[in-house]
């Protein structure tokens, strides 16, 4: 198994970006992995959530299961939202939280180009705020057999300057996948 970089984006605007879109994703790999280093510009403190859509789909075609913990308690849940959303692994600190505290997400998107099955994801995310924070573990389903060719990430307000998104293709053969 090998990983190949497909796309990378870093928010450079001082006010941040409301959304980040990775488009023209080639259908030449077996799986995708999305790695995100994020912070939101929402005022105040505490966690806020982002969201993710495939191929621009904002319909009720998503389902999720998750477990989250903050060191004192744990919760779990399931729902069918109109996009992958907070309470699943798209959590990040707000502007008033500990300076230089960023959330990290690692999300695997399985069989993303296979047009014979719905798409599944699994992911983990977390943030440490020097004594508080959260960790998430989740799995999701996009009820579509369409090959994923674009991923849109959105923030509650804006992704803070310095937010970084990297997309990798995973090949299970010896070929480069490119």
The domain 2-171 having CATH identifier 3.40.50: the answer here is no
Rounded to the nearest angstrom, the gap between the alpha carbon of residue 47 and the centroid of all alpha carbons in its chain is: 15
d(CA 126, CA 136): 6
pTM: 0.90
Strand order across the 17-22 sheet? 17-22, 151-159, 51-54
Q: What is the per-residue pLDDT across 108-123, written as a single tens digit (0 to 9) for each? A: 999 999 999 999 999 9
Q: What is the per-residue pLDDT across 37-72, written as a single tens digit (0 to 9) for each? A: 999 998 888 888 888 899 999 888 888 888 888 888
d(CA 89, CA 50): 9
């Amino acid at each position: 198994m090998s990983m190949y970089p497909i796309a990378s984006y870093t928010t450079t605007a001082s006010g941040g970006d409301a959304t980040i879109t990775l488009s023209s994703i080639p259908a030449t790999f077996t799986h995708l992995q999305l790695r995100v280093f994020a912070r939101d510009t929402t005022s105040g403190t505490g966690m806020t959530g982002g969201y993710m859509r495939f191929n621009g789909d904002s319909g009720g075609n998503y389902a999720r299961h998750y477990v989250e913990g903050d060191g004192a308690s744990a919760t779990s849940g399931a729902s069918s939202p109109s996009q992958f959303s907070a309470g699943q692994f798209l959590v990040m600190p707000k502007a008033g939280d500990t300076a230089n505290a960023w959330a990290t997400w690692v999300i695997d998107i399985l069989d993303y180009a296979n047009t014979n099955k719905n798409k599944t994801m699994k992911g983990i995310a977390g943030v440490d705020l020097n004594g508080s924070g959260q960790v998430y573990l989740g799995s999701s389903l996009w009820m579509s057999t369409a090959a994923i060719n674009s991923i849109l990430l959105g923030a509650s307000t804006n992704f803070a300057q310095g937010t970084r998104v990297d997309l990798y293709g995973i090949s299970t053969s010896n070929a480069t996948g490119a």
